[in-house]
Structure 1
């Protein structure tokens, strides 16, 4: 029997276009001999559109059949139409694959909806998704787990608006220059600024607060960017390390998705023993945030070989040319197999949750 799969993509997020790229890649890689596939698209305005089942391979999400008459509620979008019938031979989805990046998709909101509907899904749960999206909460959890990090401070918009000068002085006194300003709840390097002066700091605050009510400011370090893929549930596996070499000051959105202005080196060339250290730290981070399914753990390695964890990404870029799939391809898990393993892990996690007793 084929696995009945719902692909959920798009989303009300600044990373909407990234999600479309991910969906395109996954759709092309899925084996129609193994999967029955229903696409569900979320527009940038948050409108859900349920497409017709995929019967043959497509080259682009633009080829999928959607229309305004197919608008549905979120719950209807996540449930197979067969659930509305009385034929006991029909069944709902075996698994939901949320190919969503950023807020309203990667942050625990959609995961919470799927939990309420008791639907199996690929990837991290509510807690891990929300904590992994909020860079401040994530770093606080890393601190509790004893993972080394660069210095950081955070601000909410109302505090900054009340006293701009106090915020800028706090950064200059506690962090200094250079520093990086980031929206707390966004990925794909959207809204990030590198600041080397008060003028750049002020502009960076303004830019970051366009995308979130909370921002984080981190100490800048001269370092290599090394990444590890983590795959699994209670007993995760770690990939070989990879390195991002950006041609610009930092790996921003355009470098990732527009200009291709970066180089990936897999496996990364590291001193003896460092790969194992990074893998263990990735596992610690994965477990500290109670992750499941997949994570990409990002690190800084200085010229003195000092290691700092930067962040984890609970739904990393997922095209065949993104770092996470490439890390696993170089670890012996090709793209199509990676997708199938993630589906199996999602079903495994869901089945485990069904053992929980909810009555006294």
Structure 2
């Protein structure tokens, strides 16, 4: 049987570029090379597309061993062209955008692959864009009856014009402490915990460094429980896992710095009935957002009365050696290689299904 040509796309213009590199490294190391021929496509912080010619172990310095390419948004190509060999098209059967943050899991890379006619792992354009924008995602999920914590939002223009009224709104609606986040950023980049008015102002300004819109959330005294969902029309939800952060809250360093010894429990040490409720709510959220392929959906479970609250949905979750999504799926009985194989299969199935639509 001939191999499928699979592209692993990594890097990107996001602040989460380094996380993408580590995720891609793990994916490359676990792809079944008996089934797939790999093209390793890196995107620089400037947005340049290049073919990485090295191996996974050296991927941190990938730009020094790469060839400039273009991926035409023309489905008659369905592949990429190396600029030093423009007459040759390198066909792609399926792509895995192992990318995080803006210009990645926000629907942009998905749009490029849609135009190019290349099947890809993960949710489609609209689902990706909605889930990435925390404010829009909360509005959509709230409309569909999914419980979540109280929140407020503002954009950079409103903040510059109405600082006092926005501060008053956040204080009156949420009370301290308040968590402030960029609306369109993952991996806990730009997140702060404000305990008073002065720190709230600093937190808003910090979040606006990374996005033009921010979301402010009430403090939830709860446990952080995560659930992995896999599938297209028929989906499975993993047994949820729990992250116990070594820091005050689960920020970027706690997630990705090995010096911070955050504890991971799979399954989460919580009553089975609550675990089942979380799985059901994860599946509902997945369907509300119309996800395909995969998603990691994060919840809070309050310490007071075990109320389950949606935190956020991550449509291209981390795939590093310490990331929760692959760990939870491996706990369900599949290997890392089988998980990647299943994701490629789901991507091709979804593209085949869409190809039957008449325009």
Matches within 5 A, 1:1-360: 1-52=2-53, 58-62=56-60, 67=65, 70-75=67-72, 79-81=79-81, 92-258=91-257, 259-303=259-303, 304-358=305-359
Q: Is the contact made by 1:145 and 1:284 (CA closer than 8 Å) also made in structure 2?
A: no
**Using the alignment, how far apart are the partners of 2:24 and 2:56 within structure 1?**
11
Instruction: State whether residues 241 and 264 of structure 2, in contact with CA within 8 Å, keep that contact through their aligned partners in structure 1.
Output: yes
Q: TM-score of the superposition, structure 1-length normalised?
A: 0.93
Q: SS of the counterpart of 2:38?
A: strand
Q: Distance in 2 between matches of 1:29 and 1:63?
A: 20
TM-score, structure 2 length as denominator? 0.93
Distance 1:299 1:40 in 2: 33
- Give 1:73 deviation, angstroms: 3.1
SS in 2 for 1:104: coil
Q: 2: distance between equivalents of 1:201 and 1:235?
A: 43
Query: SS at 1:185's partner residue?
Result: coil
Alpha-carbon separation, structure 2, partners of 1:65 and 1:150: 42
Query: Is the Cα–Cα contact under 8 Å of residues 5 and 93 in structure 1 kept in the other structure?
Result: yes
8 Å Cα contact 2:41-2:51 kept in structure 1:
yes
Q: Counterparts of 1:267 and 1:314 in 2: how far apart (Å)?
A: 21
Q: Deviations over 1:243-266 (max 9, x none)?
A: 010122100001111233311111
Contact 2:230 2:293 in 1 (8 A): yes
Tell me if the contact between 2:78 and 2:91 (Cα under 8 Å) persists in the aligned partners.
Answer: no
Counterpart CA distance in 2 for 1:355 and 1:114 is 18
SS of 1:147's equivalent in the other structure is coil
Maintained 8 Å contact 1:243/1:268: yes
> Given the superposition, is the C-alpha separation of residues 188 and 78 from structure 1 closer, same or farther in structure 2, using an over 3 Å criterion?
farther
Whole-Å Cα distance in 2 between the matches of residues 32 and 308 of structure 1? 41
Q: What value does the CA root-mean-square deviation take over the aligned residues?
A: 2.0
Unaligned runs of 5+ in 2: none
Query: Mean Cα displacement is larger for which, 208-217 or 260-269?
Result: 260-269
Counterpart Cα distance in 2 of 1:153 and 1:63: 41
**SS where residue 60 of structure 1 aligns?**
helix
**Alpha-carbon distance between aligned partners in 1 of 2:10 and 2:156, rounded to the nearest angstrom:** 30
Aligned length: 351
